[in-house]
Amino acid sequence: MNHPETRGTIFLEDAEVLSHQAHPGDQYLLRIQAPECAAAARPGAFVHLKCDPQLPMRRPISIMRVDAKSGWVDLLYKAVGEGTRLLAQRRPGEHLSTLGPIGKPFEVHGERPRVLLIGGGVGMPPMVFLASSLRPAGGHTPWAPLVILGSEVPFPFQPRPSQILVPGLPPAVIAAMPLLDDWGIPNRLASLQGYPGCFDGYVTDLARHWLESLDDQARGQVEVFACGPHPMLAAVARLAREFALPCQVSLEEYMACGLGGCAGCVVQVDTPKGPAMKRVCVDGPVFDAYQVFS
Amino acid sequence: MITANDPRLEMEFCGMRFGTPLVLLSGCVGFGEEYTRVKGFSNRDAGAVCLKGTTLEPRLGNQPHRVYETPAGMLNAIGLQNPGVDFVVRDILPTLDFSETRFIANVSGSTVEEYYEVTRRFDDSPIDAMEINISCPNVKEGGVAFGNDPQMSARVVAACRRATSKPLIVKLSPNQTDIAANARGCLEAGGDAFSVINTLMGMAIDLDSRTPVIGNNQGGLSGPAIKPIALLKVHQVYQVCREHRVPIIGQGGVQSARDALEFLIAGASAVGLGTALFYDPLICKTINAGICDYLGRHGLSHVSQLTGSLRLHERPPVVCGC
Ligand SMILES: Cc1cc2nc3c(=O)[nH]c(=O)nc-3n(C[C@H](O)[C@H](O)[C@H](O)COP(=O)(O)O)c2cc1C
Ligand code: FES
């Protein structure tokens, strides 16, 4: 256990629930007022939330969007365990003890402007956050991102045909996330559930279509970022390795402190000095995929 | 901003000056500086900070999952992940701000010799004191295997005593029949103080996979669930300590000023906070204020007046609780 690499300030805020929407598949979109967190958060960061007084241990939930000016933070989560099921009952006007922002963020690199973002299920939020930071500002952007989102339950938004052409993808794959489309971020959806306009297959298969359509020079400018279930991340890491692309993945693990103090949240990684246990909360949650999936 | 601690809370513990009676417990606050990233947190709000259990060689620790919330508490099985004593002494201790609080090393090992050697290397460092962890339930050798055997406990303490003249705090396990007898042996072997209690062994089961949730199968139970057990153990150890004026760091499930006061009354001189820091990393401020408030309301001039102030009921000589 080393001292944290990221030394940014973490804020404890009593955050008001501004809105809380239920979506099919036990998915919830939660907006809280946490201005200090909103101002400091970077894509990849999460908040450590007290879901209910009955369960005083916090739950880590990744950040999907922030608005530094208005001070809100958007979270998308799936009610899977006791904590998140209790969280789902919180109503607007109630307050949630919020610790954040926590975690080492994603790092994009200027020499690899073709940023491929792959999000599966509850792994979508960090990809949306990262995409928001790649938005064209004033019509101009150095980034050429592509976001691929996958879900096996209905998407927690109404997909719509994309206004943005993405060369190299099957022409029938047109479904997109409106928010990303409105930001001018090329994006497509994938599912095995036969949702209209979505790619019928895994996110990694759709990503492969795109990667294979690029010439060598363009492919050399790709960096992959992913968040989602472990098997999906393993598949993304395999794909990245096959195309020799750098790849960052965001991981999840049960947490206690969320501050690097308990070593309760580790993942085993390969380092030049041999295997090491890294804390997902402060050494991650973003890791080099090659260190995690060897 | 430097806030002066309340003089009613300042105290001496084994010759060390504690700014408050609160101690941040081993394994919950890493190597002392992790929580300082939280706005409003200060190590000054605690009298001492116990560093993570440290062994002679680096340890990777157990496979995940390592922590899991249970009713009114949590299980943990970290497996003493630490970078080894030499790294701690050379690379971590120099980064700590000793002007803020006292730093206490948590000495762990698999053999008596390892405890001796780790203590010896901390002796030759700026560390303020050593806590001997003979009660870790999450490692195969050493730890609780030593702590539950009074003779082994005493041997470990005697070995550490030979290695240092700094204060030695013996951390006792609740997973044993007669904690008072063990405490007596450890005192004779040279212990200066006690930490009471470490975690209790427990298990949680995943119904889908029918496997234990914790990677190590079993783990240490901490948090409010263990508080009544911890209070009784502190009371029992205090009976041994009182006449020798040996102080106790009472711990196990403290999450409010009220809990802390109960531990002081049961016989503790200082009160440890572990799991409660996961609930609220700024809890020290609240608890310090709550203790001061109680002192004021009860016309007490210093927190030490509470230690062991428990008044037992007159009772018939029956030990059975049924
Ligand atoms: C995650 C975790 C890690 C711990 N690691 C250690 C350790 O390395 N050495 C030790 O002596 N006690 C360790 N403990 C025990 C605590 O220091 C403390 O004695 C116990 O948790 C009871 O206090 P609490 O209920 O306030 O947490 C650990 C406890 C937790 C929860
Ligand atoms: S949750 Fe405590 S170190 Fe990550």
* Average pLDDT over chain B, rounded to an integer: 94
Q: Which of B28, B30, B61 sits opposite A277 (nearest CB)?
A: B61
Residue A137 has pLDDT above 80, yes or no: no
Using CA atoms, how far residue A114 sits from A182, A215, B313, in Å, is 19, 12, 75
Q: Which CATH number fits domain B11-306: 3.30.70.260, 1.10.1040.10, 3.40.50.9100, 3.20.20.70?
A: 3.20.20.70
Contacts of A208 (CB under 8 A, 6+ apart): A239
pLDDT, one tens digit per residue, over A4-50 is 445 799 999 999 999 999 999 999 999 999 999 999 999 999 999 99
pLDDT, one tens digit per residue, over B35-53 is 999 999 999 999 999 999 9
Residue A112 has pLDDT above 60, yes or no: yes
* Average pLDDT over chain A, rounded to an integer: 95
Using CA atoms, how far residue A196 sits from A26, A162, A169, B313, in Å, is 21, 13, 16, 74
Q: How confident is the model at residue A159 (pLDDT cuts 50, 70, 90)?
A: very high
The per-residue pLDDT for B4 is 60
pLDDT, one tens digit per residue, over B51-70 is 999 999 999 999 999 999 99
C-beta atoms of A277 and B278 within 8 A? no
Q: Please, how many CA atoms are within 13 Å of residue B17, restricted to the half-sphere of its CB?
A: 9
ipTM of this complex prediction, to 2 decimal places:
0.94
The per-residue pLDDT for A294 is 84
Residue B226 has pLDDT above 60, yes or no: yes
Ligand 1 contact via B106 beta carbon (within 6 Å): yes
The per-residue pLDDT for B173 is 92
Residue B234 has pLDDT above 50, yes or no: yes
- Catalytic residue list of B: 136
The per-residue pLDDT for A95 is 97
Residues of B near A (Cβ–Cβ under 8 Å) read 27-31, 33-35, 37-40, 52, 60-61, 63-69, 74, 76, 78, 81-83, 92, 95, 255, 275, 277-282
C-beta atoms of B74 and A9 within 8 A? no
Residue B155 has pLDDT above 80, yes or no: yes
pLDDT, one tens digit per residue, over A185-234 is 999 999 999 999 999 999 999 999 999 999 999 999 999 999 999 999 99
C-beta atoms of B39 and A9 within 8 A? yes
Q: How confident is the model at residue A73 (pLDDT cuts 50, 70, 90)?
A: very high
Q: Top-level CATH class of A11-102?
A: mainly beta
Domain spans in chain A, listed from the N-terminal domain onward: 11-102, 114-243
Give nearest CA residue, ligand 1 atom 21: B222
Alpha helices in A104-259 (DSSP H): 124-132, 178-182, 203-213, 216-219, 230-242
Q: What is the CATH number of domain A114-243?
A: 3.40.50.80
The arithmetic mean of pLDDT across residues A258-287, rounded, is 96
